[in-house]
């Protein structure tokens, strides 16, 4: 029988969060720079600047230029050039694969260990995850652990309520930071605290080193082969534009919206945890990732859907893999357990 769990996240990460201040204070009147005080306060969770921050910024600027720029060209292509079932079936197929690989790979397996699997399957999940291009698998896992440990408090990597230095955010500025703005900042997750089981893992390290190869495969090679197989040489360019560039950009924004809009708008099955919400629109376009309040209440669970309308396609896939014997020890939410309550930061 599969294990049952009720904790919201790893105990050592939660304990680290409890050692930190519980509210955001206004900018103090002091001779020392405010940023210096915040860095000192959150030094256990965050490292500021350095080569890693510069490397992450360059990586995401590259992704933005290629994916967002390519998506704009794809829109022009769709308007100016004829497209048909080959291009748009490729868009649908690779969009679903993109989201599921992120959800099952980056998120539920490598970060939360929601199930166990074999070494070949670990490599397959890592490849599919990196083909979706949400950044380095290694960094993503550590960042997401920090997000759970410090959700919507100073130190959270992508909260719409606090910035990299713990200062209050609100309105559009908070949405912008939580959506993708955090990727261009100076705050880096401390691997000594959040990298246990991630740093040094041979599969994760390999995926990190080869991620640009899988970026090219996911963006160009796989859509191109789809177009060639189903529509011939004349369909290759259009399929790359629609099922490659446009699809990858929209899949990125769908997941990023869980961090931004998913902490602002929606309903909560579990109260007084943090500001994570279940959002109907996001729940459906992310194939289950948008049931974010459920996930924060039972972070290690393989399933995020708890009510009949909370469809979780990722869990369907995991259950199928479980029945085939490809994964095991699938974690399921224990609804009798009471999720830990957290004091929320003051909102700006």
Average pLDDT, the chain: 87
Would you state the pLDDT for residue 325?
A: 97
Would you state the pLDDT for residue 166?
A: 87
Rounded average pLDDT over 185-206: 94
50 by Cβ neighbours in 10 Å (0-12 / 13-18 / 19+) ranks as exposed
Residue given tokens 């990125």 in the structure block: 252
CA distances (Å), origin 259, targets 50, 276, 277, 330: 25, 8, 10, 25
Residue 117 has pLDDT above 60, yes or no: yes
Residue 37 has pLDDT above 70, yes or no: no
pLDDT digits (tens, 9 = 90+) for 138-172: 999 999 999 999 999 889 999 999 999 889 999 99
Whether the CB-CB separation of 153 and 345 falls below 8 Å is answered with yes
Rounded to an integer, what distance in angstroms lies between the CA atom of residue 81 and that of residue 98? 25
Domain count, the chain: 1
Would you state the pLDDT for residue 273?
A: 83
Residue 240 has pLDDT above 50, yes or no: yes
Exposure string over 240-278, b if 16+ CB within 10 A, otherwise e? bbbbbbbbbbbbbbbbbbbbbbbbbebebebeebbbbbb
CA contacts within 13 A on the Cβ side of 78: 21
pLDDT digits (tens, 9 = 90+) for 76-103: 999 999 899 999 999 999 999 999 999 9
Rounded average pLDDT over 224-228: 98
| Residue with more model confidence, 273 or 219 | 219
Would you state the pLDDT for residue 40?
A: 56
Closest CA to 49 of 186, 155, 183: 186
Would you state the pLDDT for residue 39?
A: 52
pTM summary value: 0.85
Rounded to an integer, what distance in angstroms lies between the CA atom of residue 290 and that of residue 34? 35
Residue 242 has pLDDT above 90, yes or no: yes
Whether the CB-CB separation of 175 and 34 falls below 8 Å is answered with no
Measure the CA dihedral 58/60/62/64, to 10°.
-140
Residue 294 has pLDDT above 70, yes or no: yes
Would you state the pLDDT for residue 174?
A: 96
Q: Does residue 61 lie in a domain region? A: yes
| Residue with more model confidence, 339 or 225 | 225
Q: Does residue 135 lie in a domain region? A: yes
Q: Does residue 29 lie in a domain region? A: no
Closest CA to 247 of 11, 74, 40: 74
Would you state the pLDDT for residue 334?
A: 77
265 band by pLDDT with thresholds 50, 70 and 90: very high
Would you state the pLDDT for residue 44?
A: 81
Rounded to an integer, what distance in angstroms lies between the CA atom of residue 241 and that of residue 237? 6
**Percentage of the chain modeled with pLDDT above 70:** 84
Rounded average pLDDT over 202-211: 97
Rounded average pLDDT over 161-186: 94
Rounded to an integer, what distance in angstroms lies between the CA atom of residue 330 and that of residue 317? 12
Q: Does residue 89 lie in a domain region? A: yes
272 band by pLDDT with thresholds 50, 70 and 90: confident
Q: Does residue 345 lie in a domain region? A: no
Return the bridge partners of 4, or none.
332
Domain that holds residue 185: 48-268
Closest CA to 227 of 84, 77, 19, 42: 84
pLDDT digits (tens, 9 = 90+) for 306-336: 999 999 999 999 999 999 999 999 999 877 6
Rounded to an integer, what distance in angstroms lies between the CA atom of residue 322 and that of residue 34? 51
Whether the CB-CB separation of 304 and 318 falls below 8 Å is answered with no
pLDDT digits (tens, 9 = 90+) for 1-24: 444 443 444 434 444 444 443 444
Kindly state the tokens that stand for 107.
Answer: 């998120």
Return the bridge partners of 187, or none.
48
| Residue with more model confidence, 124 or 6 | 124
Q: Does residue 344 lie in a domain region? A: no
Rounded average pLDDT over 57-68: 94
Q: Does residue 333 lie in a domain region? A: no
Residue 216 has pLDDT above 90, yes or no: yes
Q: Does residue 257 lie in a domain region? A: yes
| Residue with more model confidence, 271 or 93 | 93
- Per DSSP (E only), the strands in the chain are 4-5, 46-48, 116-117, 187-189, 327-328, 332-333
């Amino acid at each position: 029988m599969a294990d049952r769990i009720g904790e919201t996240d790893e105990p050592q990460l939660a304990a680290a969060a409890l050692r930190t201040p519980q509210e955001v204070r206004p900018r103090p009147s002091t001779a020392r720079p405010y940023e210096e005080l915040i860095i000192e306060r959150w030094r256990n969770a965050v490292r500021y600047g350095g080569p890693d921050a510069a490397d992450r910024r360059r990586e995401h600027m590259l992704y933005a230029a290629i994916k967002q720029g390519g998506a704009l060209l794809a829109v022009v292509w769709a308007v100016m050039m004829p497209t048909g079932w080959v291009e748009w079936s490729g868009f649908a197929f690779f969009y679903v694969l993109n989201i599921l690989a992120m959800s099952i790979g980056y998120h539920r397996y490598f970060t939360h260990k929601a199930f166990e699997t074999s070494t070949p399957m670990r490599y397959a999940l890592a490849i599919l995850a990196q083909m979706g291009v949400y950044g380095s698998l290694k960094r993503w896992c550590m960042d997401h652990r920090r997000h759970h440990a410090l959700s919507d408090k100073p130190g959270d990597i992508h909260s719409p309520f606090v910035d990299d230095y713990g200062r209050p955010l609100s309105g559009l500025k908070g949405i912008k930071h939580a959506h993708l703005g955090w990727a261009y900042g100076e705050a880096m997750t401390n691997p000594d605290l959040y990298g246990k089981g991630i740093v040094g893992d041979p599969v994760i390290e390999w995926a990190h080193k080869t991620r640009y190869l899988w970026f090219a495969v996911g963006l160009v090679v796989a859509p191109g082969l789809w177009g060639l197989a189903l529509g011939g040489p004349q369909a290759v360019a259009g399929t790359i534009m629609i099922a490659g560039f446009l699809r990858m950009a929209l899949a990125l924004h769908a997941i990023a919206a869980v961090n931004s809009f998913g902490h602002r708008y929606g309903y909560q099955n579990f109260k007084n945890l943090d500001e994570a919400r279940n959002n109907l629109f996001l729940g459906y376009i992310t194939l289950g990732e948008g049931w974010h309040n459920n996930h924060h209440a039972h972070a290690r669970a393989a399933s995020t859907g708890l009510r009949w309308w909370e469809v979780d396609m990722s869990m369907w896939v995991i259950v199928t893999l479980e029945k085939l014997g490809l994964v095991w020890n699938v974690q399921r939410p224990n609804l009798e357990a009471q999720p830990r309550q957290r004091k929320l930061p003051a909102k700006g």
